[in-house]
């Protein structure tokens, strides 16, 4: 938005413009045109900038002052004075008009930027609304958190009950950052809601997601990595499939760590892709962590990544903390490692068998 003086300050600005015009008049009446700087241009541009179209009244006032100062100056040829004055009026008018156009464009750009910021903020809130932070059902507790390097991004997690005995949860990472990644993320979550309620099989859901994504993605060239898991409350078992994502880590109650390795390509690469479904039994006190690659790729000042060993150590150190406190502690340590400057979006989802 272009600057406009407050009504209470108008008289002060007018006084400043008048003083600058008087100064230009006195200098030219004494020294003529020996100065390379056009002092009369200052009040003209000030008036146009502060009062916009109404400020153009300064052009004829400056022309009058320019003409009179020329008459008073001994060293100025009076024969050419009217022509010089007319030339100055044209120059000042053009420059003042250019200033007005520039200010209008700047104001329009600022208004557009404000609207875009409001839209992005709304998108950020809507994106976060798609991902609840906590969930409990029976013996299962989940909590998750996403931190974006931009206002919106492509990292996401998702969990919901399915049927009478299943809990579905996943964590994914859309290639890229920003608005494009967040839109694809919303599309993926819509696909998951569509197919996630049709089958408790992670391999089936990934296959359907991949088919939908590759059909949509033929011209886009994007892909999505994801860990998709279903916990069976009756059997106390976890069924999972991994589409090119960093391995989830299963922390046993005794402190042992079991990586749940990847079993297939990312989603959106090949329509004919298949994913192997694996199973892991969960006991009381076991914990599972899913995370995006932004965690392991967080770099310190020397360029060293956070690495898997650091995550394993943190899982063991936080094993007796409440689940949400453990997640927050892990995120804090990652941020401390990179001095608060994440190079990529970061998503963490933790699950506990109580």
Query: What is the predicted pLDDT for the residue at 181?
Result: 74
Q: Reply yes or no on whether the pLDDT at 8 is more than 60.
A: no
Q: Residue 131 CA to chain centroid, in angstroms? A: 17
In a domain, residue 325? The reply is yes
Domain match, 201 and 91 both: no
Q: How many CA atoms lie within 13 A of 188 on its CB side?
A: 33
**Cα 348 from Cα 216, distance rounded (Å):** 27
In a domain, residue 96? The reply is yes
In a domain, residue 145? The reply is yes
pLDDT tens column, 193-245: 777 778 899 999 999 999 888 887 666 667 899 999 999 999 999 999 999 99
Q: Given CA atoms 316, 320, 325, 327 in this order, what sign does their dihedral have?
A: positive
Identify the band that residue 151 occupies on the pLDDT scale cut at 50, 70 and 90.
Answer: low
In a domain, residue 15? The reply is yes
Boundary (domain end) residue, out of 67, 92, 122: 122
**CB–CB of 240/281 below 8 Å?**
no
Domain match, 161 and 65 both: no
Domain match, 186 and 270 both: yes
Q: Reply yes or no on whether the pLDDT at 6 is more than 60.
A: no
pTM over 0.95: no
In terms of residue numbers, what domain contains 114? 7-122
- The helix or strand, by DSSP H or E, that contains position 251, with its residue range, turns out to be strand 248-251
**CB–CB of 58/43 below 8 Å?**
yes
Domain match, 322 and 245 both: yes
Domain match, 211 and 135 both: yes
CATH code for position 309: 3.60.40.10
Which pair of structure tokens corresponds to residue 165? 């005995």
In a domain, residue 319? The reply is yes
In a domain, residue 2? The reply is no
**Cα 264 from Cα 276, distance rounded (Å):** 7
In a domain, residue 1? The reply is no
**Cα 204 from Cα 210, distance rounded (Å):** 10
- What's the number of domains the chain is made of? 2
Q: Reply yes or no on whether the pLDDT at 143 is more than 80.
A: yes
Domain match, 38 and 106 both: yes
Boundary (domain end) residue, out of 122, 151, 184: 122
| Strand-pair partners of 147 | 346
Q: What's the alpha-carbon Rg for the chain, to the nearest Å? A: 33
Q: Which of 201, 197, 225 is nearest to 213 (CA)?
A: 225
Q: How many CA atoms lie within 13 A of 276 on its CB side?
A: 7
Instruction: Report helix, strand or coil for 74.
Output: coil
Domain match, 220 and 78 both: no
Boundary (domain end) residue, out of 61, 90, 122: 122
Identify the band that residue 320 occupies on the pLDDT scale cut at 50, 70 and 90.
Answer: very high
Q: Which of 230, 248, 256, 243 is nearest to 350 (CA)?
A: 248
Q: What is the DSSP letter of 267?
A: B
Q: Reply yes or no on whether the pLDDT at 81 is more than 80.
A: yes
């Amino acid at each position: 938005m272009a600057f406009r003086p407050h009504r209470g300050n108008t008289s002060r600005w007018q006084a400043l413009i008048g003083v600058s015009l008087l100064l230009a008049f006195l200098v030219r009446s004494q020294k003529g045109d020996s100065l390379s700087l056009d002092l009369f241009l200052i009040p003209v541009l000030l008036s146009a900038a502060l009062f916009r179209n109404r400020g153009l009244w300064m052009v004829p006032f400056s022309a009058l002052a320019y003409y009179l100062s020329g008459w008073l100056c001994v060293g100025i040829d009076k024969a050419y004075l009217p022509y010089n004055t007319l030339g100055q009026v044209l120059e000042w008018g053009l420059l003042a008009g250019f200033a007005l156009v520039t200010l209008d464009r700047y104001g329009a750009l600022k208004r557009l930027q404000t609207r875009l910021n409001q839209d992005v903020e709304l998108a950020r809130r809507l994106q976060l609304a798609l991902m609840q932070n906590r969930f409990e059902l029976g013996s299962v507790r989940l909590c998750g958190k996403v931190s974006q390097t931009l206002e919106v991004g492509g990292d996401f997690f998702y969990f919901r009950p399915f049927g009478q005995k299943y809990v579905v949860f996943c964590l994914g990472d859309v290639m890229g950052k920003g608005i494009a990644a967040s839109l694809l993320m919303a599309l993926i979550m819509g696909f998951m809601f569509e197919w996630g309620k049709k089958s408790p099989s992670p391999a089936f859901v990934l296959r359907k997601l991949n088919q939908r994504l590759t059909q949509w993605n033929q011209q886009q060239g994007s892909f999505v990595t994801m860990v998709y898991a279903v916990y069976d409350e009756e059997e106390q078992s976890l069924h999972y499939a991994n589409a090119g994502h960093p391995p989830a880590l299963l922390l046993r109650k005794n402190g042992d760590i079991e990586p749940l390795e990847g079993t297939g390509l990312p989603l959106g690469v090949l329509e004919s892709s298949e994913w192997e479904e694996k199973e892991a039994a969960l006991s009381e006190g076991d914990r599972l962590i899913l995370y995006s690659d932004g965690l392991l790729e967080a770099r310190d000042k020397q360029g060293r990544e956070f690495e898997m060993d650091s995550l394993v150590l943190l899982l063991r150190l936080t094993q007796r903390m409440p689940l949400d406190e453990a997640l927050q502690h892990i995120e804090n340590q990652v941020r401390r490692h990179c001095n608060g400057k994440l190079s990529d979006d970061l998503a963490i989802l933790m699950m506990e068998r109580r």
